[in-house]
Amino acid sequence: MSNITLNYYVVDVFTDKVFGGNPAGVCLLDDWLPDETLQNIAMENNLSETAYLVKKDGSGSQVACYDLRWFTPTIEIDLCGHATMGSAYVLFTFIEKEAHRIEFHTLSGMLAVEKDSDMLWMDLPSRPADPVQKYDSINKSLGLEDYEVYKSADILIIVDNEEIVKSLRPDFHILKELKDEADMPGDNFVIIVSAQGSDCDFVSRVFAPNCGVDEDPVTGRAHCVLTPYWSKILARTSLTAQQLSTRGGQLWCEDAGSRVKIGGTAVLYLQGQINV
């Protein structure tokens, strides 16, 4: 393959200032490159996710349509919220300036992002979780005793208060064992720890060591699980959320039945080119 130059952006998502939220790599392609190349770029970037976009035929000026894929430094995943919002930010800002809606065709079906002033609103699939047994690897890796566990495509752990979430110091080597104990079909899952919040409706932290991401700074896909859970517990469909990573981030969530609406802001950190 001859040398190719790709337009590349890094967008900090779920924040209104650089160095906050979750940085997403966004790479615009004319056509799909080999999967090995996509994975190598993501590994070189070493961000939680790098998103790749190819424009689809039939896009209009008001609604633009793209194929979208996401890669962590080690694997391709089936759903990523922050890199979807980061991709939409790049398109609205630089490519699709007349559009009010971006539709993405992904491994999780059609996802959409709409712009409302500085806010971006994603439409993602709801992933409600069912209660399951406690797992030894949670006790050993997170030092938890009093908690509840729920499972969907991801693992949700509910603890008593926000301070427990803040104080977690996981043993990621042991936490990776949860994959086999919980009978997860592959490495494509995250582990969410959540509690009711003091300055918002709920807080969380998210770990994905099986995906090559020990702690994800702010995780849109996790809120596809968190939103239906806390909507039921708090008896409200509109919720505010914070992710308590070092970088931190804020999200607005709406339970819409089979879908979850997630809102946030984003800022550009980097614009450049990749040579492969």
**Same domain as 144, residue 42:** no
DSSP code of 37?
A: H
What is the pLDDT at residue 61?
A: 74
Which is more confident, 8 or 57? 8
The owner of tokens 């539709």 is 103
Q: Which amino acid is at 260?
A: V
**Is residue 1 scored above 60 in pLDDT?**
no
Q: Are strands 202-208 and 191-196 parallel, antiparallel or unpaired?
A: antiparallel
Taking a C-beta distance cutoff of 8 angstroms, is the pair 205, 165 a contact? Answer: yes
The count of domains in the chain is 2
Owning domain of residue 80: 5-125+263-275
Domain CATH number, residue 183: 3.10.310.10
d(CA 133, CA 181): 10
My answer on whether 161 and 66 are in the same domain is no
Going by pLDDT thresholds of 50, 70 and 90, the confidence category of residue 2 is: low
Catalytic residue ranges: 49
145 band by pLDDT with thresholds 50, 70 and 90: confident
The pLDDT confidence band at residue 142, using thresholds 50, 70 and 90, is very high
pLDDT tens digits along 172-209 = 999 999 999 999 999 999 999 999 999 999 999 999 99
Q: How many Cβ atoms sit within 10 Å of the Cβ of residue 216?
A: 26
Q: Are residues 30 and 136 in the same domain?
A: no
Report the predicted TM-score, pTM, of the whole model to 2 decimal places. Answer: 0.96
